[in-house]
Amino acid sequence: MPRAYGGLELSVPEGVRLEEELACIDGSLGWTVTLCAGANLFVGYVHPSTAGTVFADPAVCFGGSGQASGTALEEDDGYRVSGRWRYATGAPHLSHFTANCIIQRQGRTVLDDQGNPLVRSFFFAKDEVSVCEDWSAFGLKATASHSFEVSNLWVDRNRSFLIGPEYATLDLPIYRYPFLPFAEATLAVNTLGMTRHFLACAKDLLRESGVERTEEASERVAETRRSFYHVVDRSWKELVDSGDVGQATLQAVSEQSHSLVHRCREQVMALFPHLGLTAADASSEVNRIWRDLFTASQHSLLR
């Protein structure tokens, strides 16, 4: 969020490091802040007059779904929207729900330049949606990532937007950073933060049994963490210096994000069988971290 709207105006390297620390404190905390901060990023693509009104509220909080599981029929100066979307992280906290919809015109699906269904993003006020309290995953419980739906809801054209550097309405570097590698990096650091928390708990448990198995795991994670941040920092420098991020660097961000997640899961799974029944006790801290981490692993961008 820009400072003009009361935000911290963090760069990508600053933001992901903060998200890592939050996830290290608690998985649900890090995940909720990350997903909602990612949705608040949309302020940079919304029509300025609309953004100025909506984001003037200090309690504003966007969140929702990236699934294109709704339809938006063009109508007059807006759209008639219907759909149901799953996994709106932080649903009880949200002031607005974001959703992707397939655009229809005169009863037919609109196609983009590549011949695919045209998808636009929308946001709805919380009193315009019905929240379905169906989040029953075994981890990240406090994210309350419930489903939501709207039916035949008319929304103004200014509540629809497209995400991408070419559609930015605010002139700050972060809105020119491509969204997919941004999302991959922010999700990856949540796995990293939870893994660090898991390793700390594992070290305490194994110390009690007189066994040390965490040092090698911690070093392997730390090594991959350094490689990840090296390429994220490089991508941001490219953007600030030249106004763009090269495709090779963006690919490296994606690859390092997935490598980081893979390494973290690998080390956690290697240690888990050595932690005894405490690790299997659903009331234990280490078990909660394990459940949070492997619930997060099911996000489509991390698989």
Contact residues for 55 (Cβ-Cβ < 8 A; gap 6+) = 1, 5, 6, 43
Q: Do 157 and 181 belong together in one domain?
A: no
CB neighbour list of residue 225: distance below 8 Å, 6 or more residues apart: 192, 260
**Chosen domain end from 162, 192, 217:** 162
Q: 87 to each of 101, 160, 225, 240, 299, how far by Cα in Å?
A: 16, 20, 28, 33, 10
Query: Is the Cβ–Cβ distance between 102 and 70 less than 8 Å?
Result: yes
Whichever domain contains 66, its CATH number is: 2.40.110.10
Residues 81 and 132 reside in one and the same domain: yes
pLDDT at position 208 = 77
* Residue 145: inside a domain: yes
Q: From 111, 130, 162, give the residue that closes a domain.
A: 162
Query: How many C-alpha atoms does 120 have within 13 Å on its Cβ side?
Result: 25
Query: In the chain, how many domains are there?
Result: 2
The answer on 179 and 156 residing in a single domain is: no
130 and 186 co-located in one domain: no
| H-assigned helices in 116-213 | 179-208
Tokens representing 21? 């620390």
Grouping H, G, I as helix, E, B as strand and the rest as coil, residue 63 is strand
What pLDDT, on a 0 to 100 scale, did the predictor assign at position 216?
94
Instruction: Judge if pTM exceeds 0.85.
Output: yes
For residue 227, being part of any structural domain is answered with: yes
Q: CATH number of the domain that 191 lies in?
A: 1.20.140.10
Tell me the three-class secondary structure of 88-134, residue by residue.
ECCHHHCCEEEEEEEEEECCEECECCCCCECEEEEEEEHHHCEEECC
Assigned token pair, 303: 């698989």
Residue 302 lies in a domain: no
Do residues 118 and 229 both lie within one domain? no
Q: Residue 174 is which amino acid?
A: I
The answer to whether residue 34 sits within a structural domain is no
Residue 192 maps to a domain: yes
Which residues does residue 232 pair with via DSSP β-bridges, in sequence order?
none
Q: How far apart are CA 283 and CA 278, in angstroms?
A: 9
pLDDT tens for residues 52-73?
999 989 899 999 999 999 999 9
Same domain, 260 and 233: yes
98-121 as b/e, with b when 16 or more CB fall inside 10 Å?
bbbbbbbeeeeeeeeeeeeebbbb
User: Is 283 inside any structural domain?
Assistant: yes
Q: Is the domain of 105 the same as that of 179?
A: no
> In a structure prediction context, what are the per-residue pLDDT tens digits for the chain, which is 303 residues long?
999 999 999 999 999 999 999 999 999 999 999 999 999 999 999 999 999 999 989 899 999 999 999 999 999 899 999 999 999 999 999 999 999 999 999 989 999 999 999 999 999 999 999 999 999 999 999 999 999 999 999 999 999 999 999 999 999 999 999 999 999 999 999 999 999 999 999 999 998 777 788 999 999 999 999 999 999 999 999 999 999 999 999 999 999 999 999 999 999 999 999 999 999 999 999 999 999 999 999 999 988
Number of neighbours of residue 9 by Cβ within 10 angstroms: 14
Inside any domain, residue 22: no
Structure tokens at 228: 């990840």
pLDDT on residue 209? 76
Query: Residue 78 belongs to what domain range?
Result: 46-162
**Residue 215, SS3?**
helix
Same domain, 132 and 218: no
Report the half-sphere exposure of 248 (CA within 13 A, side-chain side): 2
What are 208-230's pLDDT values in tens digits?
Answer: 777 788 999 999 999 999 999 99
Same domain for 152 and 203, yes or no, is no
- What angle separates helix 179-208 from helix 27-40, to the nearest 10 degrees? 170
Domain boundary, last residue among 162, 197, 221: 162
